[in-house]
Chain A
Amino acid sequence: MTQLLLFNVFNGLIIGAFYALMALGLSLILNLSGVINFAHGGFLAIGGYLAYTLIPYVGFWGALVASPFLVAFIGILVERVLIRRLYGRDPLYSLLLTFGLAFMIEDGTRFIWGAQSLPYQIPSWLSRPLSLQFFFLTGYRVFMVILVTAVVAALFVILNHTRLGIRIRAGTLDLETVSALGVNTGVLRNLNFGLGIYLAGLAGVLAVGMLGLQPTIGDNLIMPSFIAIIVGGLGSLPGTLAGGILIGVVSGITTVFLPAASEAVMYVMMAAVLIVRPRGLFGEEGRF
């Protein structure tokens, strides 16, 4: 029993880390540009597929490094060509646009790589369990937790200690003033979008090692990411991080006692948060 519980808590932690990675990217874009990026799951899938294609040439580690950057580059292009035109308009339009993009990306990946699930090889020494008693602790899982922790830490260092990060945070609070102070907000939003998409791409590369590779892989991760943002509180990145991990772990624990409710419990948590504290756990008062 203890072992089962431990297994599911750990599993929930990993899933929660994915939710958090996705949600942090979504949150970055939402906070600065007011765009709900419905295509985020699509970018995640592209990350996975690009890594799959790259592995024969650059190996597992090369793909792990290169793929998210390529996805971020695609994201930057998409922002420049399409999404930029919709800033300042009703959020309805950017939502519809990214919605259409999500369709196109899903169908496009299916067209290029096929609808069937593809095998994704991770190095054999990573897929071995670390101990016999805790069979679920494979090297890959531990590695994922460490990597996600490192990336999230790096993200917060960027946001708190670099010029770009400080401008992003300032822009989140008051973009007009930031613009008046001489910052090119077009470039700022562009880079911020790229940063958010980079996180989606990275989540994609990591997720395929665990969930396999199929065109709809992003679909199952995007709704929990929305919930993570709502639970954590809109406008707060630490909140989003906490929200992602929280719903992952809670849904993991629920799996032990009531497997059928493991999805539903996330929505229950969202409803509870909205009733008790509509701005979310760490959200600012009066922002939305």
Chain B
Amino acid sequence: MKFDKRAGDVLVWALLLSAPFWLPLAGSYVELGTRVVIYALAAMALNFLLGYTGVLSFGHAAYFGLGAYGTALTIKYLVPSTPVGMLAGIVLGTVAAAIIGPMIVRLRGVYFAMCTIAFGQVFYFIAFQWFSLTGGDDGVSAWHREPLHFGFATLDILNSNKAFYYFVLAIFAVSAAAMAFLLRSPFGRTLLAIRENERRARFLGIPVDQHIWMSWVVSCFFVSIAGTLFSLMNDFVDPRALRWDQSGNFVIMAVLGGMRSFWGPLIGAAIFLVLQDYISSETQNWMSFIGLFFVLVVLFFPRGVLGIIRRKATS
């Protein structure tokens, strides 16, 4: 079987576009589809850095959470408008990443991972302890996303979960297209070169640290978009959105689906969330099962689902 890339793309989009119609038939619900798309965006954003630049970040939850908090706080306290809230969240997440970036891009490998973990926790503590603003452990509640007004029409993303799904999917589509475009551009090719052989890239005169910084900011930009959508979906955000276990979830999604493939993280997110949904409704000890799942993926599926398919296809 030859792995046809274009056929794969068409299949992915067909499944995503029709999801609200077949999900209830498959015994599931539309919100699960929305969650999958949001997490898929986060995992694909992480994979921009992890799979295509070869840099391991274990702290992406921070920028996801900043996006979520930025949106929630703006809508609650400043402007009750969905687009303004989203913009605020994205700016907050991206600016934080841009500031932290220069401190860590000089580091490599485990050391980079460790620093991203530690920096990620800063925002967790801020969200947790700044009670007067963030509500601490209780999170930011008592606000909700607003319907979208386009002048000629209104999209009621608040009350219609299908409308909200398509709103999320549209943003996902634009983001995915933008990432695919960036990866095909000279910038993306340079990132691949850095991943494959950093020393050689340096010899070619490529400013490696600068490129890693840019890749980091791009990645955090898209992850904060996912974060804003996440808080819009829940009409709520609490510190768990930016805790380290969230970062781990993004990484496992990317690995499970296949780090070296564009759609891998989407598949990983779908498998992970469906499984989590099922396990947490069956048992109280879902954490053990998720932990076991991590261990099994690492031991038996390190290449991910798409990695395995691809290897079968070439052999």
Contact = CB atoms under 8 A, between A and B. Distances in A.
Interface of A: 30, 34, 36, 82, 85-86, 89-97, 99-108, 111, 223, 226-227, 229-230, 234, 260, 263-264, 267, 270-271, 274-275, 278, 288
Judged by DSSP, the binding face of A is helix
A267 B107 CA distance: 17
A223 B118 contact: yes
Interface centre among A34, A89, A99 (most CB of B within 10 A): A99
Contact of B288 (A94, A95, A111): A111
A93 B115 contact: no
A183 B81 CA distance: 66
Contact of A103 (B104, B108, B287): B287
B121 A99 contact: no
B39 to A, nearest CB: 16
B113 A95 contact: yes
B109 A278 contact: no
B211 to A, nearest CB: 18
Given A230-B115, A288-B109, 10 more contacts: A86-B298, A89-B302, A96-B255, A101-B295, A103-B291, A104-B288, A104-B292, A108-B288, A111-B285, A230-B114
Interface of B: 50, 56, 58, 103-104, 106-111, 113-115, 117-119, 121-122, 125-126, 129, 244-245, 248, 251-252, 255, 285, 287-288, 290-295, 297-299, 302
B56 A96 contact: no
B251 A92 contact: yes
Contacts of B115: 230, 270, 274
B247 to A, nearest CB: 9
Contacts of A226: 114, 117-118
Nearest to A102: B291
A202 B115 CA distance: 26
A104 B56 contact: no
Contacts of A103: 245, 287-288, 290-291, 294
Given A264-B125, A278-B106, A97 B114 contact: no
B56 A95 contact: yes
Contacts of B111: 230, 234, 288
Contact of A107 (B107, B109, B288): B288
Nearest to B119: A267
A92 B108 CA distance: 12
A267 B110 contact: no
